[in-house]
Amino acid sequence: MSNLKNILLNQKMDCKSIWFMRQAGRYLPEFRSIRLKHPNFINLCLNSDLSSQITLQPIKRYDLDSAIIFSDILIVPYAMGQEIDFVKNKGPKLSKFVLEKFLDNNKENFTKKLDPVYQAIAKTRKKLDKRKTLIAFIGAPWTLITYMLGVKNKPKENNMDDKNKIEKIIKNLIDYLCLHIKKQIEAGANVVQIFDSWAGLLKDLDLQKLCFLPNLSIVDFCKENKIPVICFPKGIGKKYKDFNRIVKPNGLSIDYNLNPEWAKKNLTNVVLQGGMDPKVLLESDKKIFNEAKKYLDIFKDVPYIFNLGHGIVPETNPDKLGKLIKFVREYK
């Protein structure tokens, strides 16, 4: 049997690999019951026993092929000195970004603060079946910047015209993100996914500079260290083709707005992943199976990892996800 790591490294087609973005999260009652007792989300991510336990919840329930470590992309800005508040229904809010403070970080302090994440990975690896992959992840620099500088909330004040400043931030972030990847792999993770969830906000030149090139630096770092890497530049439409040509990751996760037929034709020499709209899981079984069938049929003769086009939404009924998994496993 090939696992996710082998599929990515060898473009294998002889097995189905299934995992989901946000597979450990609020749609699961077993997660909600832990979360209720731990109102501070960052502290929960930094509790290695609980974080490992949460990581394994969807594996226990569905026997998925890969586990993704329970943490958050914002743990990196947190470890670099910004406080974070997860306001219910409003998304994360970060304390004011101060460039001098950000540039003044030191790596020893950073890895010390994130040590519980690495411990959680080590603990999870010990409990996880050897054949299963443990996925580490980071947020891409641009997506982190949208939260660090509050770009989405105040587009006029975000100082994006200060390109020099943004470049300095990106350069420093790449350094710390590569370190975070290295530490996660040393702790026992086998694959990395880079989330660029807000790549779709960028146009043309900015897309090159703020999305493609930073992703490329990180992918090159992974390749030098023989770490299989999946990129997820969400929302960039047909620019996925340029992304693939320039960045050349092992895997490319496609979002639900991308036409899967177009993706199959235009995104070659890469293992494709995902695509199906997570909101389909809120529909009838028939609709869910039809949609899954569409993706499985289109990608039947290329290496493909079953996943969704973004994270599982909290309103999802866990039994429906179970039915989808069974359908995908049994579909020929």
Helices (H), the chain: 4-10, 29-36, 41-45, 48-62, 75-79, 99-103, 107-113, 115-127, 141-148, 163-187, 204-206, 213-224, 240-247, 260-266, 285-298, 318-330
- The smaller minimum CB distance to ligand CP3, of residues 71 and 273, is found at 71
The three-class DSSP label of residue 17 is: strand
195 forms part of the interface with ligand CP3 (CB under 6 A):
yes
With CB under 6 A as the contact rule, the residue among 137, 221, 240, 306 that binds ligand CP3 is 137
**114 lies in the site for ligand CP3, by CB under 6 A:** no
Judged by CB under 6 A, how many residues of this single chain contact ligand CP3? 21
Q: Should residue 73 be labelled a site residue for ligand CP3 when binding is judged by CB under 6 A?
A: yes
By C-beta, is 129 or 261 nearer to ligand CP3?
129
Pattern 20-59, ligand CP3, x by CB under 6 A: -xxxxxx--------x-----x------------------
Q: CB of 222 within 8 A of CB of 229? A: yes
Of 21 and 191, CB closest to ligand CP3: 21
The one among 70, 97, 118, 289 contacting ligand CP3 by CB under 6 A: 70
Does 141 sit near ligand CP3 (CB under 6 A)?
no
Among 72, 138, 140, 214, binds ligand CP3 (CB under 6 A): 72
Q: Is 142 in the site for ligand CP3 (CB under 6 A)?
A: no
CB of 297 to ligand CP3, least distance (A): 26
- Which one, of 181, 176, 211, lies nearest residue 104 by Cα? 176
Distances (CA, A) of 231 to 24, 139, 195, 305, 324: 20, 10, 6, 13, 24
Find the binding residues for ligand CP3 in span 152-191 (CB under 6 A).
none
Q: Which two tokens stand for residue 17?
A: 């690999």
What is the full DSSP assignment across 213-268? HHHHHHHHHHHHTT--EEEEETT-GGGHHHHHHHH--SEEEEPTTS-HHHHHHH--
Q: Which of 84, 86, 257, 328 is close enough to bind ligand CP3 by CB under 6 A?
A: 86
65 binds ligand CP3 (CB under 6 A): no
State which of positions 197-216 bind ligand CP3 (CB under 6 A): 197
Q: Tell me if 267 sits within 8 A of 4, measured CB to CB.
A: no
Q: What residue ranges bind ligand CP3 (CB under 6 A)?
A: 21-26, 35, 41, 68, 70-74, 86, 91-92, 137, 195, 197, 311
